Amino acid sequence: MTQHTLWHEHKISRAQRAALKRQRPCLLWFTGLSGSGKSTIANALDLALHQRGYHTFLLDGDNLRQGLNKDLGFSAPDRVENIRRIGEVSKLFTDAGLIVLCAFISPFTKDRRMVRQLFPEGEFIEVYMDAPLSVCEQRDPKGLYKKARAGAIAEFTGIDSPYEVPERPQIRLDTSKLTVDECVAALIAYLEQHELLAT
Q: What's the distance, CA 28 to chain centroid?
A: 6
Are 23 and 99 within 8 A, CB to CB? yes
Assign 34 to helix, strand or coil. Answer: coil
The tens digit of pLDDT for each residue in 112-129 reads: 999 999 999 999 999 999
The residues carrying an active-site annotation are 106
The tens digit of pLDDT for each residue in 147-184 reads: 888 888 888 888 988 999 999 999 999 999 999 999 99
pLDDT digit string (tens) for the chain, length 199 residues:
566 666 667 778 878 888 888 889 999 999 999 999 999 999 999 999 999 999 999 998 778 888 888 888 877 888 889 999 999 999 999 999 999 999 999 999 999 999 999 999 999 999 999 999 999 999 988 888 898 888 888 888 889 889 999 999 999 999 999 999 999 999 999 999 999 987 5
pTM above 0.85? Answer: yes
* Helix 76-95 × helix 109-116 angle, to 10°: 20
Domains and CATH numbers, the chain: 24-131+162-193 (3.40.50.300)
CA pair distance 140, 76, nearest whole angstrom? 23
Residue 11's H or E segment, with its range, is none
